[in-house]
Structure 1
Amino acid sequence: MTTNDRLASVRYLVDDVPAAVDFYTAHLGFTLRTDPAPAFADVVRGPLRLLLSGPASSGARATPEPATAGRNRIHLIVDDLDAEIARLRTEGVAFQGDVVSGPGGRQILLTDPAGNLVELFEPAAR
């Protein structure tokens, strides 16, 4: 097995590749890595490469039915959760539930246009 220590990749199945690209680049600070096509695009944020696979992509075809979004999610660390929530709400982004606080910090969930979960997390002050 070979390793690539520069980027960690996660595949999300999406219904609409251009809509997913727009969501991640416009709202969550990702940068487009490849030109979006109807079947596939990838975006990056730091060391995370998010593979956005539409229904015609090989990644989506390799997934057994039903291919629905699960409870897994990408975890994005933010400096100020309240400011991010306020900014995203003004941009029309909806959240799944309320902020949850725990010993490690505070978090909230949102979904991309295909229903994949994204967690915004603000670590507790140390």
Structure 2
Amino acid sequence: MSDELVSVRYMVDDVREAVDFYTSHLGFDVRFAALPAFADVVRGNLRLLLSGPESSAGRPMPDGVKPGPGGWNRIHLIVDDLEAEVGKLRSAGLPFRNDVVTGPGGSQILLQDPSGNVVELFQPA
């Protein structure tokens, strides 16, 4: 496997709150922060760019539409024990969009960050 980082950008409502969420609950480390507009956090080869309303990525499009958080695209994090991870995160009061779903490839659940972005936690079969 390459040591190259794969980058994903999430629009967030509050960069400080997002950094706390990803570092406290999901094992990310801060690589760079220009608060309150932007932060760059990493976990393994995943580089997550957290862009707030004050960031350049938050500027309105030519038609006036403002980029915002949420939607169904998501990062996918593999965990060893989904049940234990869900229990820990629920105990911390974190919101989920659904309950655990199991299929032929494994089990998954959708966690929401403070801005409504989705993080899929997945345990392979």
Q: State if a TM-score over 0.5 links the two structures.
A: yes
Structure 1 Cα separation of the partners of residues 122 and 10 of structure 2 = 19
* Shift, 1:61, TM fit: 1.5
* Shift, 1:5, TM fit: 6.0
Q: 2:25 aligns with which of 24, 27, 33?
A: 27
Q: TM-score, normalised by structure 1?
A: 0.89
Q: TM-score, normalised by structure 2?
A: 0.90
Unaligned 5+ residue runs, structure 1?
Answer: none
Q: 1:25-75 deviations in whole A, cap 9, x for unaligned?
A: 000010011135110001000000000000011112165725342110000
Structure 2 Cα separation of the partners of residues 29 and 90 of structure 1 = 17
Aligned length: 121
Say whether the 8 Å CA contact 2:58–2:66 is kept in structure 1: no
Say whether the 8 Å CA contact 2:39–2:51 is kept in structure 1: yes
Structure 2 Cα separation of the partners of residues 66 and 52 of structure 1 = 16
Structure 2 Cα separation of the partners of residues 27 and 97 of structure 1 = 18
The two structures, once aligned, show a CA RMSD in angstroms of 1.7
Q: Once superposed, which parts of structure 1, at least 4 consecutive aligned residues long, lie more than 3 Å away?
A: none
Letter in 2 for 1:55: P
Find the counterpart in structure 1 of residue 84 from structure 2: 83
Structure 2 Cα separation of the partners of residues 50 and 81 of structure 1 = 22
Identity of aligned residues (%): 65
Unaligned 5+ residue runs, structure 2?
Answer: none
